[in-house]
Amino acid sequence: MNDQYRIEHDSLGELQVPKDAYYGIHTARAAQNFTVTGIPLHHFPELVISLARVKKACALTNFESKLLTDIQANAIIESCDDIIEGDHHDQFIVDMMQGGAGTSTNMNANEVIANLALEKMGYAKGDYQHLHPNDHVNCSQSTNDVYPTSARVAVLSKCKELTDKQLELSAAFKERAEAFSHILKVGRTQLQDAVPITLGSEFAAYAVTIEEDVERVIQLSQLLKEINLGGTAIGTCINTPPHFAYKAVRHLSDLVGYELIPAENLIEASSDMGAFVMFSGTLKRICVKLSKICNDLRLLSSGPCAGLGEITLPPVQAGSSIMPGKVNPVIPELVNQVAYQVIGHDVTITMAAEAGQLQLNVMEPVIIWNVLQSLHMLINAMDALATKCVSGITANEKRCNDLLVQSSVMATALVPLIGYEKAAEIAKLSMKKHITVAKAAVELGIMTEEEVDDAFNTCHLA
């Protein structure tokens, strides 16, 4: 047993830690206490990398402030670089859902970096008298500034991937819009026939509604660039050298490749989760739109014989265990469900942001977990929708034309010529006798078929 474990101590006593583990006693306790989701920190590599970047920025600042020796600082920085490059992520084992306002996440990082650094210095794991997780790796820091800062940087690191997927999905709709630009069909409001439209215009509208949120993601992500690093426990900068916050943020900005901003009021920034609420709200907005679009795609492709059947979605798998030949709109269904989940995440984030008390919001872990989950799911869902569905949609042109000819929507084009009342009379007869608008106009003696055709051909369609 002793060959497999080492003994570590904390204020609660002793605990056995796997001998080869780079994490330490605090992480081991957390792994025992927080067994809820089964999703460890390393499930989100962007969060692990962000933690390492924050620790590196602080080590650089502490060295400049003469709080770390050259040997200690170099060992910590090199260990952080290893993690940033993707090494040792499996040592970040704490569950994403945890009590303690993220303390166990911060300590997981402190312990892994400390033990990596000890090995680089020639010492054994757990030999903390030479380099300590709290005294050295966590020097001039608190969970309450490290954790929210790392979370913001992690979310920011995913924004480019999110907007890229938005643009790719919008481009897929634009390409289909161009291909369908000549196809006339029935436009509908309240699921009832309304006025004529082109299938291309319908798909072009989907492209626009997706693309307009790209700028909103970029705008809202700017709120996440204001960080409270250097504020330590409650934003009073206790246990930090002069100008630590400014210097640490400068170093972190260099590491991430964009400018981060020290919060104007570090006390306020230590408890306020408003930026996450706003960003999550934008993800919700995107999902509401995506789900509506997917509802439309399912309706437009319904049938294929007994529904609207105006478009055909690419078949990606057999649809039934009992009905031969059935193919379901599984990709839009998938995106619908992702949208519902992200909207649920937004509710959780909203409630958790409200639940903070006094100088700290202890619900940060569930906020961070839900924002990152939403980003991952949304990025993957939009990729699936673009590549496995939209790009392969085909139009059923004959079906579109048949429904248009049989519909009364063409009567709307007659209103400028004959007025609303006569046009309504034509529409009613068309529906009653199941004849075309042109035939109804002739039967009522209001217009000839040629006059109806001319009116329709000259009406404005987007």
Could you give the residue numbers annotated as active site? 320
H or E element at residue 394: strand 394-395
For residue 408, give both structure tokens. 């009364």
Distances (CA, A) of 424 to 194, 287, 430, 447, 455: 13, 39, 10, 13, 15
C-alpha–C-alpha distance, residues 127 and 435, integer Å? 90
In eight-state DSSP terms, residue 315 is: P
Q: φ, ψ for residue 75 (rounded to 5)?
A: -65, -40
3-state secondary structure of 136: helix
C-alpha–C-alpha distance, residues 319 and 324, integer Å? 8
In eight-state DSSP terms, residue 123 is: -
Pairing of strands 184-189, 13-18: unpaired
C-alpha–C-alpha distance, residues 312 and 452, integer Å? 31
Give the residue among 98, 112, 86 at the shortest CA–CA distance from 38.
Answer: 98
Contact 311, 356 (CB under 8 A): no
Residue 31: how many other CB atoms lie within 10 Å: 17
Q: Between helices 45-64 and 244-256, what is the axis angle to 10°?
A: 130
Pairing of strands 192-198, 184-189: antiparallel
Q: φ, ψ for residue 169 (rounded to 5)?
A: -70, -45
What ranges make up the beta strands (E) of 190-263? 192-198, 226-227, 261-262
In eight-state DSSP terms, residue 150 is: H
For residue 247, give both structure tokens. 């210097």
Give me Rg for the CA atoms of the chain.
30
In eight-state DSSP terms, residue 225 is: G
Distances (CA, A) of 140 to 34, 48, 70, 77, 237: 27, 20, 17, 15, 8
